[in-house]
């Protein structure tokens, strides 16, 4: 039998194997390159997005004056920079009132129309006309402005004291009465003539008291071991025009079997009407087991006339909030000591005052009862130091 000729596949097999290996290697390399390019592109896109979303100006404070109007601000030396973010595509206004009324107010007005930003430093005369008129001296400086599909955003700056007492109000350490307004329409063609601002009287909102120069907030991280307790008044009838009410309500906190630290407190506003009626809130610590304290803790609360109606046992102040301020956070190494064996009763003294400014007359809905108070944050994880409160005066 003739042996068939030997067929040598070795060389051909090696070449095919090498070709396949080369093809696979090239595919892997190309895939890696493409994947790397894709990852790089995604990283660049995320980086650019993050860069665009970061604001080079770090704000010290952010406050929502209502659900449609937010202000942000920062103070550097003698300059203060504001940003307004308002849910409207019409004009907006922001400024200061000397007493909560229209007359004598200092206000900046701005809007965006067809991509053009208009911005003017204005004031309101003392003759009762609510339309702001343009100042001879423009002391509010526009930095930029724009609008999207829902909001108008304006950023501007001014001096704390513009040295224009005839038309501007100086920003001081006192509580400032913030005036703000917004409308769904723009003035026609950037006009500054009297009567061209659409419906100025109905565009104003009730003023908001705020201390603009208060220190920046300490960053507060709500850990899982931090407990929250709301101390609220119960259906307090708000005072009428130009009337004052001091209300005292006692709380019994008998579940702190061991020492805790109070580390933060902040006001609780029951409604927008509360903002304009609350003057200050003081939380007092009551020592001892007096029958009067037990009876007061079972009550809804009572009207009190200051120190003479407050039990002598409740003379230690734990927390104090005043109109225009926000929350208070203790430094990281400090907390105010609270323990039921030392103090079981706490008295909250709330001062209401209804000045009834003309701005509130624009809005007929008025709350008649209030349930505002203080929210306190405390923890059993003790800090290094106990805090105390020094009271000076009556």
Structure tokens at 66: 């209502």
Q: Among 20-29, 289-298, 302-311, which is the least confidently predicted range?
A: 20-29
Q: What is the dihedral of CA 117, 74, 63, 114, to 10 degrees?
A: 10
| Domain-ending residue, one of 210, 244, 266 | 210
How distant, in Å, are the alpha carbons of 97, 98, 102, 130, 363 from that of 126? 12, 11, 8, 9, 22
Asked whether residue 292 is domain-assigned, the answer is yes
Asked whether residue 274 falls in the same domain as residue 346, the answer is yes
Residue pair 371/232 in contact (Cβ under 8 Å)? The answer is yes
Rounded to an integer, the average pLDDT of 101-109 is 92
Distance between CA atoms of residues 300 and 245, nearest Å: 15
pLDDT digits (tens, 9 = 90+) for 238-293: 887 668 899 999 999 988 889 999 999 999 988 877 777 888 899 999 987 778 89
Parallel/antiparallel/unpaired status of strands 334-338 and 385-386? parallel
Q: Does residue 11 lie within any of the structural domains?
A: no
Same domain, 181 and 284: no
pTM value? 0.62
Confidence of residue 25 (pLDDT cuts 50, 70, 90): very low
pLDDT for 367 equals 57
* pLDDT at position 7 over 50: no
H/E segment holding residue 84 = strand 79-86
User: Which CATH number belongs to the domain containing residue 291 in this structure?
Assistant: 2.60.120.310
Phi, psi angles (nearest 5°) of residue 188:
-70, 125
Question: Are the C-beta atoms of residues 23 and 16 closer than 8 Å to each other?
Answer: no
CB crowding 269-300: b at 16 or more within 10 Å, else e: ebebbbbbbbbbbbbbbbbeeeeebeebbeee
Compute the average pLDDT of residues 333-361. Answer: 81
Residue 91: phi and psi, rounded to 5, are -85, 155
Of the pLDDT bands very low, low, confident and very high (cuts 50, 70, 90), residue 393 is low
| Model confidence at 338: pLDDT above 60 | yes
Q: Which residues contact 241 (CB under 8 A, 6 or more apart)?
A: 354, 356
> Is the residue at 160 inside a domain?
yes
Both 351 and 251 in a single domain? yes
pLDDT at 55: 58
Question: What Cα–Cα distance (Å) separates residue 10 from each residue in 7, 23, 43, 375?
Answer: 9, 20, 48, 85
**Residue 371 contacts residue 234 (beta carbons within 8 Å):** yes
For residue 24, pLDDT beyond 70: no
Do 73 and 201 fall within a single domain? yes
> Can you read off the two tokens belonging to residue 239?
């005072």
Are 201 and 282 in the same domain?
Answer: no
Asked if residue 206 and residue 245 are part of one domain, the reply reads no
**Predicted confidence (pLDDT) per residue in 151-163, tens digit:** 999 999 999 999 9
Write the pLDDT tens digit of every residue in 34-86: 333 333 333 333 233 222 233 555 788 888 888 899 999 999 999 999 999 99
* Percent over 70 (pLDDT), the chain: 79
Res. 295: pLDDT tops 80:
yes
Q: Residue 69: what are its φ and ψ, rounded to 5°?
A: -140, 115
Categorize the per-residue pLDDT at 366 as very low, low, confident or very high, splitting at 50, 70 and 90. low
Q: Does residue 18 lie in a domain region?
A: no
Tell which of 210, 237, 258 closes a domain: 210
Question: Please, what sign has the CA dihedral across residues 209, 213, 214, 216?
Answer: positive
What is the CB neighbour count within 10 angstroms for residue 126?
Answer: 12
Examine the domain organization and report whether 117 and 194 are in the same domain. Answer: yes
Judgement on whether residues 268 and 382 belong to the same structural domain of the protein: yes
For residues 280 and 175, state if they share a domain. Answer: no
Residues forming a β-bridge with 345: 252, 286
Instruction: Supply the pLDDT for residue 342.
Output: 85
Percent of the chain with pLDDT over 90: 49
Q: Residue 324 in contact with residue 177, Cβ under 8 Å?
A: no
- Both 233 and 371 in one domain: the answer is yes
The pLDDT, as a whole number, for residue 62 is 85
Residue with tokens 């696979």: 24
Looking at the structure, tell me whether residues 348 and 264 fall in a common domain.
yes
Q: Are residues 174 and 323 in the same domain?
A: no
The total domain count for the chain is 2
Label the pairing between strands 133-134 and 61-66. unpaired
CA dihedral 88, 92, 96, 101 (to 10 degrees): -80
54: its two tokens: 């970061």
Higher pLDDT, 179 or 219: 179
Mean pLDDT computed over every residue of the chain: 80
- Domain span including residue 302: 226-357+367-386
């Amino acid at each position: 039998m003739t042996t068939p000729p030997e067929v040598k596949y070795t060389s051909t097999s090696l070449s095919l194997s090498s070709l396949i290996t080369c093809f696979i290697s090239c595919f892997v390399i190309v895939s890696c390159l493409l994947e790397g390019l894709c990852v790089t592109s995604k990283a660049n896109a995320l980086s650019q997005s993050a860069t665009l979303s970061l604001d080079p100006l770090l704000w010290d404070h952010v406050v929502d004056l209502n659900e449609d109007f937010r202000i942000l601000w920062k103070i550097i030396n003698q300059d203060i920079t504001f940003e307004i973010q308002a849910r409207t595509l019409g004009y907006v206004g922001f400024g200061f009132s000397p007493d909560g009324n229209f007359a004598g107010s200092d206000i900046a007005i701005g809007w965006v129309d067809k991509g053009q930003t208009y911005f003017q430093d204005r004031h309101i005369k003392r003759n009762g006309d609510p339309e702001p008129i343009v100042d001879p001296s423009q002391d509010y400086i526009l930095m930029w402005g724009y609008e999207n599909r829902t909001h108008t955003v304006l950023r501007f700056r001014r001096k704390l004291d513009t040295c224009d007492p005839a038309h501007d109000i100086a920003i001081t350490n006192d509580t400032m009465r913030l005036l703000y307004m917004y409308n769904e329409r723009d003035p026609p063609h950037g006009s500054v003539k009297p009567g061209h601002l659409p419906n100025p009287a109905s565009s104003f909102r009730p003023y908001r008291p705020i201390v603009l120069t208060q220190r920046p907030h300490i960053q507060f991280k709500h850990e899982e071991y931090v407990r929250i307790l709301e101390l609220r008044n119960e259906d307090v009838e708000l005072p009428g025009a130009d009337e004052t009410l001091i209300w005292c309500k006692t709380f019994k906190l008998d579940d702190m079997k061991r020492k805790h630290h109070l580390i933060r407190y902040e006001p609780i506003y029951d409604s927008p009407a509360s903002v304009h009626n609350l003057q200050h809130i003081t939380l007092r610590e009551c020592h001892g087991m007096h029958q009067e304290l037990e009876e007061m803790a079972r009550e809804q609360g009572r009207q009190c006339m200051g120190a003479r109606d407050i039990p002598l046992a409740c003379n230690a102040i734990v927390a104090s909030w005043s109109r225009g301020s926000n929350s208070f956070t203790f430094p990281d190494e400090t907390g105010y000591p609270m323990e039921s064996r030392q103090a079981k009763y706490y008295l909250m003294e709330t001062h209401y005052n209804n000045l009834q400014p003309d701005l509130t007359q624009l809005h007929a809905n008025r709350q008649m009862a209030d349930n505002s108070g203080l929210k306190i944050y405390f923890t059993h994880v003790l800090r290094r130091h106990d805090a105390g409160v020094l009271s000076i005066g009556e």
